[in-house]
Amino acid sequence: MPAHAQTSTAAIVAAGRHLLEERGADALTMQDVAEAVGVRAPSLYKRVRSRSDLFRLILEDVADELTASLDAAAGSGDPVADLRAMTAAYRGFAHSNPVTYTLMFAPDSVPGATARSVRSSAALLRVVAELAGPQHTLPAARTIVAWAHGFITMELAGAFRLGGDVEQAWDFGLDQILAVMPGRSRA
């Protein structure tokens, strides 16, 4: 008869994710995760094949959470309001999850990331298509993501050292991007 499960994959992923954010990628150990979920390290391997598998599961969880956050933000039906809400949700997510946010952009961070990227980009692409027009959707979406990611990366690194209001700079940047969307009506 199999032993009673003392933990779950979800609990392992949650503990790993918490420790990853708290200590950083280099300090995450299977031993620490095992202690956090109340089992011995060898017991983890019943549910997670390796440390790299744990990272994969954590980053999949992060991507799913970010996707849900972006989808929820894009519900007003007004593409400008939706884009503002989505970029705010994206930025808020990055600030709440700085380590895993950064890891999401590491080369080959998650096997199968392309399929997840398509799903997590669907709401953004839909909103941007309304703002930029169908022929400019992908380049416009890439520009928005590149701007937001660059801004957030600098913000998380403490690189805005010249003073001024960072919130105002964020709003200014997004306003400038919105102003040049080719599909927006010029009223």
25-73 pLDDT, tens digit per residue, is 888 899 999 999 999 888 888 899 988 899 889 988 998 999 999 999 9
What are the start and end residues of each CATH 1.10.357.10 domain in the chain?
60-179
Reduced to 3 states (helix: H, G, I; strand: E, B; else coil), residue 172 is helix
- The per-residue pLDDT for 19 is 95
Q: With beta carbons less than 8 A apart as the criterion, state whether 114 and 90 touch.
A: no
- The per-residue pLDDT for 166 is 96
Tell me which residues of the chain have a pLDDT lower than 50: 1-4, 186-187
Q: Give the separation between CA 114 and CA 86, rounded to whole angstroms.
A: 20
Q: With beta carbons less than 8 A apart as the criterion, state whether 113 and 56 touch.
A: no
Q: Give the separation between CA 148 and CA 144, rounded to whole angstroms.
A: 6
- 60-179: CATH homologous superfamily? Tetracycline Repressor, domain 2 (1.10.357.10)
- The per-residue pLDDT for 167 is 96
- Decide if domain 1-48 falls under CATH 3.30.110.60: no
- The per-residue pLDDT for 183 is 67
- The per-residue pLDDT for 110 is 52
**CA 82 to chain CA centroid, nearest Å:** 17
- The per-residue pLDDT for 106 is 74
What are the start and end residues of each CATH 1.10.10.60 domain in the chain?
1-48
